[in-house]
Amino acid sequence: MSIAKPKAQSRRLTPGLSGVHRALGTLSIAVVMAASLTACGSSGTGSGAAAGSANADAARQAIAAYTSGKASPFVVDQPLSKPVPPGTNFAFLQCAAQACSVAGREVQAAVRAIGGTVTIVNSGSSAQTAQSAASAVLAMKPAAVIATGLDPQIYGGGLQRIADAGIKIVTISVSVDTKPFGITANYLGAPTFVKAGGLLADWVIANKGPGAKVAFYGVPEISFVPAMIKGFEDELKKNCSSCESRTVNVALATLGTSAPQTVVTDLQSHPDTTIAVMSTGTLAAGVPAAMSSAGIDVSTLLYAPQAGNLQDIKDGKIDTALAIDYNSSVWAGVDVAARLVLGDQPLKAEADGEASFGFLGQKDITFDPAKGWNPYPDYAQRYAKLWLKS
């Protein structure tokens, strides 16, 4: 099957992302979101550094706290006001991406640790499947619902109907305004991913210098990606006026299938690219092999590596990843849901979207990649104590 060349917006440092969050069509999520992202690019020159230069010192300083396997502090540091009643039922809306499946396993483990029960409901990757999943959850009447990743618009009015039934809704990794959808709390919102995008940009500047020509591969259906792109481009504009960046949209439905060929086709069309930045580890799965088969040698940087990505880094097939302490972050989302069920409020760090980040290169993979990056390997024990279970 032939694959058409993806449309990419070539530009210097796009200053804004107007129109990113348009309403999603039932069967055209990728088309609508891709169009809104592509249409908003424009050319410009950064003001944070002299033309043709890169403020590498500022970039290195920005990433220093996250290099050499270091991670930012553990997010949750205060116990619940009381234990969650045994058997409290939670539901998890699980999207089709691999990262959502990983999140689902962590949600199950966390809810067991807190003394509750959880039902996994597959929300898929389309509006039809997501809205059917929301209806199924409403019929279950759990105490709380947790969802990750997808733009809430994909559920139509399903989330609001859940909220109207008095059920708490907690989203994780959603960077749009969640209030219009009945969502009670959102952990890891837009500020978190603006920050992550800025850190990715600073790594590019520190390691590739003023001549960097970046291809940023985003998955527009994943709601945090536009915020990450904004953070990336704003930081690139600030610290590297001569760096060039373009965004290439890769549809969620192609992850695990044709996504690697989409990346290869784009890189073949832009042979001057010096670094490929990927917005999720799931997107990067299979990309190193596809690039090797095509004879492409381009530096690679990605966000939120999964086990296979970590193995690729260890094997020298991917250069670097900005890892998030994913397991602990999912447990923090469950902690938010538990506090709401008890009638409490999320902690300030949770409300602010704080998370543990760290850059991982080949020398930093001193652990078993299959087990993921766990800067706090005792996170389950920490949460058990905070949840008054130990």
Domain boundary among 274, 309, 324: 324
pLDDT cut 70: percent of the chain above it:
86
**Per-residue CA distances from 316 to 361, 364, 365 (Å):** 9, 12, 11
Greatest CA separation for the chain: 62
pLDDT of amino acid 1: 37
Residue 104 pLDDT grade (very low, low, confident, very high; cuts 50, 70, 90): very high
| Predicted local distance difference test score (pLDDT) of residue 140 | 97
Q: How many domains does the chain have?
A: 2
Residue 320 has pLDDT above 70, yes or no: yes
Same domain, 110 and 255: no
- Per-residue pLDDT tens over the stretch 172-225: 988 888 999 999 999 998 999 999 999 999 999 999 999 999 999 999 888 789
Residue 99 within a domain: yes
Report, as an integer, the average pLDDT of 42-66: 66
| For the chain, the helix, strand and coil percentages under 3-state DSSP, each to the nearest 5 | 45, 15, 40
Evaluate if residue 385 carries a pLDDT over 60: yes
Average predicted confidence (pLDDT) for the chain: 86
**Do 7 and 137 touch, CB atoms closer than 8 A?**
no
Model confidence band, residue 11 (pLDDT cutoffs 50, 70, 90)? very low
| Domain identity same for 195 and 320 | yes
- Reported as a pLDDT band with limits 50, 70 and 90, residue 151 is confident
The structure tokens listed for 66 are 């996250």
As a whole number, mean pLDDT of residues 292-300 equals 97
Do 207 and 309 belong together in one domain?
yes
- The pLDDT, as a whole number, for residue 149 is 73
pTM as predicted:
0.72
Q: What is the mean pLDDT of residues 375-380?
A: 93
CA gap 121, 143 in Å, rounded: 15
Averaged over 271-281, what is the pLDDT?
A: 97
In a domain, 260, yes or no: yes
Domain's final residue, options 324, 340, 369: 324
H-run or E-run covering 158: helix 158-164
334 and 318 housed in the same domain: no
Task: Round to whole Å and give the CA distance between 379 and 383.
Answer: 6
Q: Is-contact 321 303, C-beta < 8 A?
A: yes
Q: 335 with 298, same domain? A: no
- Does residue 36 sit in the same domain as residue 150? no
Instruction: Classify residue 332: in a domain, yes or no.
Output: yes
Whether residue 75 is contained in a domain is answered as: no
Tell me, yes or no, whether 153 and 44 share the same domain: no
Is there a domain that residue 367 lies in?
no
The reply to whether 202 and 300 lie within a common domain is yes
60: pLDDT confidence band, cut at 50, 70 and 90? very high
Which residue has better confidence, 101 or 54?
101
pLDDT at 15: 31
Q: pLDDT value at position 175?
A: 83
Question: Where residue 234 falls among pLDDT bands split at 50, 70, 90?
Answer: very high
Q: Are residues 107 and 140 in the same domain?
A: yes
Q: Which domain holds residue 118?
A: 89-185+327-351
Distances (CA, A) of 142 to 93, 124, 162, 306, 346: 12, 20, 10, 30, 19
Tokens representing residue 30 in the block? 């990728």
One domain, residues 66 and 195: yes
Instruction: Name, in order, each residue with C-beta under 8 angstroms of 188's C-beta and a sequence gap of 6 or more.
Output: 172, 173, 174, 224, 329, 333, 353, 355
Q: Residues 115, 203: one domain?
A: no
Residue 19, classed as helix, strand or coil, is: coil
- Indicate which CATH number applies to the domain containing 295: 3.40.50.2300
Residue 385: inside a domain, yes or no?
A: no
- pLDDT, one tens digit per residue, over 329-375 is 999 999 999 999 999 999 999 999 999 899 999 999 999 999 889 89
Please report the pLDDT score of residue 53 as a whole number.
65
Q: Are 216 and 248 in the same domain? A: yes
Q: Give the mean model confidence (pLDDT) for residues 261-267.
A: 98
Query: Which of 68-72, 94-98, 141-145, 216-220 has the lowest average pLDDT?
Result: 68-72
Per-residue confidence band for 235, with pLDDT thresholds at 50, 70 and 90: very high
Phi, psi of 316 (to 5 degrees): 80, 20
- At 174 the pLDDT is 86
Structural domain includes residue 384: no
Is position 239 within any domain? yes
Asked if residue 64 has pLDDT above 70, the reply is yes
State which of 308, 324, 340 marks the end of a domain.
324
